Structure 1
Amino acid sequence: MTITARKLRGFLARAAQPPLLNFPRGVFVTVPIALSRRSMLHTALGAAAALALASPQALALAQKAWPAKPIRWIVAYPAGGGQDFLARHLSVQMGRQLGQSIIIDNRPGAAGIIGTDAASKAPADGYTMVTGDNGAMVLNTALYKKLPYSPGDFTPLGFMAGFPLILVVNPDSPFTSARQWLAAVKRSPGAYSYASPGAGSPHHLAMELIKERTGSFIVHVPYRGTAMAIQDVMGGQLPMMIVDTAGGLAQIRAGKVRALAVLSPRRIAALPNVPTLAESGVPDFEAVAWQGLFVPKGTPPDIAALLSVEMQKAILVPEVKTRLEEFGLEVTPSDGPQLASFIARETTFWHQLIRERHLSLD
């Protein structure tokens, strides 16, 4: 679909309307620190993208035939997972808005490194986007001495959604509360083990944060993905793990695992009767898996700004938002600068924890 000057004027008029969305308090933050990461969630969506589109470059964009071909959206994880689910549902609506197809390109492997690297080397022409998460944009840069890409290789378009993390145990476990569980693991260092979807995952790092905060020692057993890990917890081979809502909500609802606590700062709508870890004796504890949208650095700023606004608009379409929330996601979109600031604060916090825990994947 060619973006004509008339269409662009209409878009700018819509984009410049007063923002309607207030970020819910504390969805993404792990712990309050100076220049709190939580502050991002207390600000309304700004008009940065609209201002960018009002530039002379935006008027030039109106004369170009963009997007003239399908846009590729790289997902650095397998089809069927949480990242894939979010991208596929959002891409359909964004495609409708842009008048062009958006094709999901799954590039799994090496904790998201393969797909993220492929995106970093793609032409910066507005025809490639990539989902970036905690691992790709924050954790990997501290866990690996050498990466084939850098977070600086990308321009952030905006935050899309958070995947709340949940501490779960086998349904036959003697633990019926997080307080009881915490007392047991602190009383018997090394006597308990836990599964994770993989070393260096947000789930692994969340448990490391629990261990750091409580002075406990729990043996880590990394798996290659959530499906195998939660299967062994359900079967009793391992007693516990941390899951995200995308990978574990169905099993919790079916009674195949027992949820002891959510790691968000407040209870989540999907599991309103499950207390937070902060309620259970670990004050101010917060951790979440999150997803943002990025394009290769050098993508024309007017195209990046338009993609950012269209993403924010698409994810708040009622049927899209409802479907994502049913899957367990917390939908809280932002613009690119807000995501960049959030990533900077996340990097400071998690890199300090990784250094203190002497964690490395090299």
Structure 2
Amino acid sequence: MTHAFFTLRRRSAVLAGLAALVTLASGAAQAQAYPNKPIRLLVGYSAGGGVDAMARLLAPRLSAILGQQIVVENRAGAAGLIAGDAAARATPDGYTLMLGDSSLLIAQYLQPRMSFDPVKSFTPVAGLFTLPLVIVTGNDFPAKTPKEFVALLKANPGKYSYATSGVGTVHHLGFEMLKGQTGAYVVHIPYRGAAQIASDVMGKQVPIGVVSATLAIAQAKAGKLRAIAIMNPVKLAGGEDIAPLADALPGFDAAPRLYLLAPAGTPAAIVERLSEATRSVMAAPDMAQAAALQGAVPAFMAAGPLAADIPRESAQWGKVVREQKITAD
């Protein structure tokens, strides 16, 4: 009986091993055949916007390496959640991808009835870009550097307000992170979009704004407003003189990030193929310059490290939402 038991166990182990080999062989075969038809790249925002621009920068370059067309498909609405739902429900075969961004990770803390989990519903493929944000003020604002800015806010609770493009954006949560780290009390004024913020800062309707790096650099160079601090520690093409907020708050890092995502369950061999193709695209000599024109900074991250980093970023935003008692209302 004992001999029969161990014989059975050996047979089970052999069968399991054979099954694993078949699975590996199948995955390798899939990767070799992939892709053999066009790939959809879902974008959760309207054509012509910043995220869409990055998708259209990426798609033809990725197409050239993969040998198949990458079709950008805009599924605008609900701050990217409509596209996220479609991507999460898609067949996990590598033919539907999504250009995800940090707002998906934030949304889960403000929209508890989401139809998908922004961490568990996707397989990370590659980190792509950051979209740096800059804190701007009028030219007569009584602070010129990040350290002066932080000291002024701490010394004058409730005196100042700041404008962002809406509740739950990285612009909003990034500034709330600043408040949490300093204990400063600054009133948030949410706008429906970013277009009016710079004008209102220049017109002194609001003293502080959080805007894209592209907008901040253009207006600062024109002498219309002051770019106080960049919210993540990078050097901006054309804005090298803008100091990082980390000068006053060591380690401070808040900026929207863009990722390439696939539906959960996409075969590892296909994910690796896509990740390596994306690595080649992001390493191209002209990529940094092309991205800078759109206010973006290349920030490639391979699939494995990204899979570990997305939960970290998600937890970071969740902490800000809880500690600052932020709600969607």
Give TM-score scaled by structure 2 length.
Answer: 0.84
Residue 145 of structure 1 corresponds to which residue in structure 2? 112
- Structure 1 residues 158, 62: CA separation in 2 closer, same or farther (over 3 Å shift)? closer
After superposition, give the CA deviation of every residue in 1:54-87 in whole Å (9 maximum; x if it has no partner). x5235422674x4343211111122222211211
Unaligned runs of 5+ in 1: 1-54
Measured in 2, the distance between the counterparts of 1:287 and 1:174 equals: 24
> What is residue 301 of structure 2 aligned with on the other side?
334
Q: 2:133 aligns with which of 158, 165, 179?
A: 165
3-state SS in 2 of match to 1:278 = helix
Cα distance between partner residues in 2 of 1:301 and 1:266: 32
**Selected match of 1:343 from 302, 310, 320:** 310
Return closer, same or farther for 1:142/1:63 CA change in 2, 3 Å cut-off.
Answer: closer
Secondary structure of the equivalent of 1:221? strand
Matched, 1:261 2:229: yes
1:185 paired with 2:163, answer no
The aligned residue for residue 20 of structure 2 is none
- Aligned partner of residue 217 in structure 1, secondary structure: coil
Aligned partners of 1:81 and 1:203: how far apart in 2?
A: 16
The Cα of 1:120 is off from its aligned counterpart by 1.4
Partner of 1:51: none
Name the CA distance, whole Å, in 2 between partners of 1:337 and 1:62: 17
Counterpart of 2:207 (choices 239, 255, 261) is 239
Deviation at 1:135, TM superposition (A): 1.5
2:103 counterpart (99, 123, 135): 135
1:360 aligns with 2:327: yes
Aligned counterparts of 2:129 and 2:298: Cα–Cα separation in 1: 4
> Could you tell me whether the CA contact under 8 Å between 2:128 and 2:301 is conserved in 1?
yes
Call closer, same or farther: CA 1:355–1:63 in 2, change over 3 Å.
closer
> Residue in 2 aligned with 1:300?
267
Output the CA distance in 2 between the equivalents of 1:166 and 1:245.
6
Structure-2 separation of matches of 1:79 and 1:236: 32
The CA distance in 2 between the partners of 1:96 and 1:251, in whole Å, is: 36
Which of 35, 58, 65 is the aligned partner of 1:97? 65
Kept in 1, the 8 Å contact 2:216–2:227? The answer is no
The worse-fitting range, judged by mean Cα deviation, of 252-261 and 92-101 is 252-261
* 1:1-362 aligned within 5 A: 55-61=24-30, 64=33, 66-136=34-104, 138-151=105-118, 152-246=120-214, 248-265=216-233, 267-279=235-247, 281-361=248-328
Instruction: Kindly provide the amino acid, as one letter, of the partner of residue 191 in structure 2.
Output: Y
Measured in 2, the distance between the counterparts of 1:93 and 1:338 equals 23
Distance 1:249 1:118 in 2: 36
- Going from structure 1 to structure 2, the CA distance change for 1:310 and 1:328 (only over 3 Å counts) comes to same
Structure 2 Cα separation of the partners of residues 265 and 110 of structure 1: 30
TM-score, length-scaled by structure 1: 0.77
SS at match of 1:198: coil
- Indicate if the aligned counterparts of 1:61 and 1:302 stay in contact, CA closer than 8 A: yes
Measured after TM superposition, the shift of residue 240 of structure 1 is 1.5
- The count of residues paired between Structure 1 and Structure 2 equals 306
Secondary structure of 2:309's counterpart equals helix
Partners of 1:187 and 1:75 in 2: CA distance: 43
AA of the residue aligned to 1:145: P
For residues 125-169 of structure 1, what are the alpha-carbon distances to aligned partners after superposition, in whole Å with 9 as ceiling and x for unaligned?
322111111110x21222222212112111100111112221111
Is the contact made by 1:81 and 1:247 (CA closer than 8 Å) also made in structure 2? no
* Superposition deviation, residue 323 in structure 1: 0.8
Which 10-residue stretch deviates more, 76-85 or 307-316? 76-85
Q: Which residue of 2 aligns with 1:42?
A: none
Give the superposed CA RMSD: 2.4
Structure 1 position 114, deviation (Å): 1.9
Moved over 6 A (4+): none
Residues 254-295 of structure 1 show CA distances to partners (whole Å, capped at 9, x for unaligned) of 33432001122355454221222232x333322222111101
SS in 2 for 1:286: coil
